[in-house]
């Protein structure tokens, strides 16, 4: 009896193994699908329910608030080449022709560039970098919603690299809100919005790395916010915002060996941007104070050669413009200007920045050292002459 049962069991197992081997050989997907289906049925697959909340630490609200006010700027320039000399055009390739007439192209060659800008008022006033549009024959502004408009230039200030444009359009998005610079500190999180490399509107994040950066040789008047938020070609003129969505700067330059972001970018602070914008809208140009002197930084060797007291600050006035504000006040070449309205002068740049802040026509008290004696002279501030534009 036991032998019969064992024989029956062995035959059943043999048949099942044979059947499995045939299926595994001829239809292996049947076995795989069974295994996969079994795994899926047994797995615990859970999907988080969307509760409408933003991810922790998200800056979406700040970006949502400010991004519609950031625009893309496209410029086109027609390079006016010298027209070919009258005669046989085939002579253009002749070396003797080139020697006398130079390389000349028979047609004008158009070029284009791109940048970013910021909508600053409901009337269509747009801020950007001066270098973005300085040589443009045509300027086109593309809004975040895709609409495009021709823009005209209201005015520009190459010394701070700020330009003011205007577009005529209806139903513009809300203008950017200017932030209070007193609330900006090193270590604050900031976001840069622009159109890098023309890929479309993009947001990058970083922190404020430093404040008040100057002596960089980028602009005449420098007081940059330094940030490690990625700023690339095409970002120029775009917005640097805080985590509330307020404008704290206009992105203007990067430090780079390869043309791309290396973690060192510079933005013009919003208070300076606003000052330049308001002056251009009111007067058509940026007006700054000027006294008509040629200052030199006082090196240790120069101070010793002039036999100045130790730790003397200020700048040496190597020249004074005849008939200029300083000349009329009695300032002489060789004087050392040490203070304006009791504010010490540290170097040439601090003198430039300090004088530029005064309204033309106002009076200031200048303290100078002349032959070892301090003199107080009253200078009526003049208007800074228009500087050459950047190219």
User: What is the SS3 assignment for 328?
Assistant: helix
161 as an active site residue: the answer is yes
- Which entry of 131, 228, 242, 279 is annotated as an active-site residue? 131
Helices 2-26 & 28-42 angle (0-180, nearest 10): 100
343-344 vs 239-241, strand pairing mode: unpaired
Class of residue 199 by CB neighbours under 10 A (exposed 0-12, middle 13-18, buried 19+): exposed
Q: Active-site residue 113, yes or no? A: no
The single residue of 236, 242, 261, 279 carrying the catalytic annotation is 236
Contact partners, residue 268, CB within 8 Å, separation at least 6: 160, 161, 162, 223, 224, 225, 249, 250, 252
H-assigned helices in the chain? 2-26, 28-42, 60-66, 95-101, 130-133, 270-283, 300-305, 325-329, 348-356
- Sequence-distant (≥ 6) Cβ neighbours of residue 234 within 8 angstroms: 114, 115, 116, 194, 195, 196, 197, 198, 199
Per the CB < 8 A criterion, the answer to whether 257 and 200 are in contact is no
Q: Which residues of 38-61 are buried (b: 16+ CB within 10 A; e: fewer)?
A: eeeeeeeeeeeeeeeeeeeeebee
Residue 285 in tokens: 């140009």
The counts of H helices and E strands in the chain are 9, 20
Say if CB 160 and CB 276 are below 8 A apart. yes
Given the residues 113, 116, 161, 261, select the one marked as catalytic: 161
DSSP string, 16-46: HHHHHHHHHHH-HHHHHHHHHHHHHHHS---
DSSP structure class, residue 314? S
- Contact, 265 vs 226, CB < 8 A? yes
- Residue positions annotated with a catalytic role: 131, 161, 236
């Amino acid at each position: 009896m036991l032998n019969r049962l064992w024989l029956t069991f062995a035959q059943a197992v043999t048949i099942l193994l044979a059947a499995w081997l045939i299926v595994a050989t001829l239809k292996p997907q049947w076995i795989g699908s069974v295994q996969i289906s079994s795994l899926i049925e047994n797995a615990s697959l859970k999907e988080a329910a969307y509760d409408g909340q933003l991810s922790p630490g998200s800056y979406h609200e700040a970006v949502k608030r400010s991004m519609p006010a950031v625009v893309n700027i496209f410029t086109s320039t027609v390079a006016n080449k010298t027209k070919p000399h009258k005669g046989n055009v085939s002579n253009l390739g002749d070396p003797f022709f080139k020697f006398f007439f130079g390389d000349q192209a028979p047609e004008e060659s158009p070029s284009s560039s791109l940048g970013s800008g910021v909508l600053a008022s409901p009337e269509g006033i747009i801020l950007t970098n001066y270098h973005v549009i300085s040589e443009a024959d045509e300027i086109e502004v593309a809004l975040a919603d895709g609409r495009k408009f021709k823009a005209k230039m209201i005015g520009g200030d190459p010394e701070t690299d700020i330009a003011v444009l205007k577009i005529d359009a209806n139903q513009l998005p809300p203008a950017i809100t200017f932030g209070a610079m007193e609330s900006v500190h090193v270590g604050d999180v900031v976001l840069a919005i622009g159109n890098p490399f023309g890929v479309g509107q993009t947001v990058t994040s970083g922190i404020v790395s430093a404040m008040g950066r100057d002596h960089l040789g980028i602009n005449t008047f420098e007081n940059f916010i330094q940030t490690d938020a990625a700023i690339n070609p095409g970002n120029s003129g775009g917005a640097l915002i805080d985590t509330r969505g307020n404008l704290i700067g206009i992105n203007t330059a990067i430090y780079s060996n390869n043309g791309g972001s290396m973690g060192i970018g510079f933005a013009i602070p919003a208070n300076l941007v606003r000052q330049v914008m308001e002056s251009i809208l009111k007067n058509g140009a940026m007006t700054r104070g000027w006294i008509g002197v040629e200052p030199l930084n006082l090196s240790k060797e120069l101070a010793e050669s002039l036999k100045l007291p130790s730790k003397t600050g200020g700048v040496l006035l190597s020249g004074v413009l005849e008939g200029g504000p300083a000349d009329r006040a009695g300032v002489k070449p060789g004087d050392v200007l040490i203070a304006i309205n009791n504010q010490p002068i540290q170097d040439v740049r601090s003198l430039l920045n300090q004088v530029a802040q005064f309204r033309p026509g106002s009076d200031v008290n200048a303290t100078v050292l002349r032959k070892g004696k301090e003199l107080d002279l009253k200078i009526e501030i003049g208007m800074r002459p228009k500087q050459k534009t950047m190219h």
